[in-house]
Homo-oligomer: A and B are copies of this chain.
Amino acid sequence: MEGKNDKDFIATLRDHGLQVTYQRLAIYQALYNTKEHPSAEVIYQHVKKRFPMISLGTVYKTLERFYEVGLIEKVSPITEVARYDANLGAHHHLVCLQCHSIQDADTPIIDQKIVPQEKSGFQVLRQQVILQGYCPECRRNIEASRAPK
């Protein structure tokens, strides 16, 4: 069992350049102590029990901030909106964090062995690999703006 006390949580927030408030502490602790991958709404409902005056907007802002500084992971919407693809051949996707473009990766498909076939009773029907980073164009722009001269 991992254990983190309040002091540890505070230190973790500070380490990520975040100002510490009791709302942030509560949100981070709630997320840290579950395996449920909750949505903003679920976290809100949970935290509200201890801090009834907290607002849903704050939860959204805070989670997004946490994600920005790399404190937490965001599981689902890799992109803002649904995107479609007529290419049914199994392939990976390269998703640009900056311009949100998506391109197919022509790297080999992962070996089936990584899939937990019947492990834990979960029946896997499909798998997809998401590779996130910067596309060539955005990469150039970012590097250009970082080293201006």
Contact A103 B133 (CB under 8 A): no
Q: Which residue of B lies closest to A29 (CB)?
A: B86
- Given A37-B85, A39-B83, answer yes or no on A126-B122 (Cβ-Cβ < 8 Å): no
- Given A123-B139, A129-B128, A133-B125, answer yes or no on A87-B73 (Cβ-Cβ < 8 Å): yes
Q: Which residues of B contact A106 (CB under 8 A)?
A: 116, 119-120
Contact B139 A121 (CB under 8 A): yes
* Residue of B119, B123, B135 touching A122 (CB-CB under 8 A): B135
The SS class assigned to the A binding surface is mixed
* Residue of B36, B79, B97, B119 touching A107 (CB-CB under 8 A): B119
Q: Which residues of B contact A61 (CB under 8 A)?
A: none
A69 to B108, CA, bound (A): 26
Contact B133 A124 (CB under 8 A): yes
A41, CB-defined interface residue at 8 Å: yes
Contact A124 B119 (CB under 8 A): no
Contact A76 B86 (CB under 8 A): no
A51, CB-defined interface residue at 8 Å: no
Interface residues of chain A, those whose CB is within 8 Å of chain B, are 28, 31-32, 35-41, 43, 63, 66-67, 70-88, 92-94, 96-97, 101-108, 110, 114-116, 119-136, 139
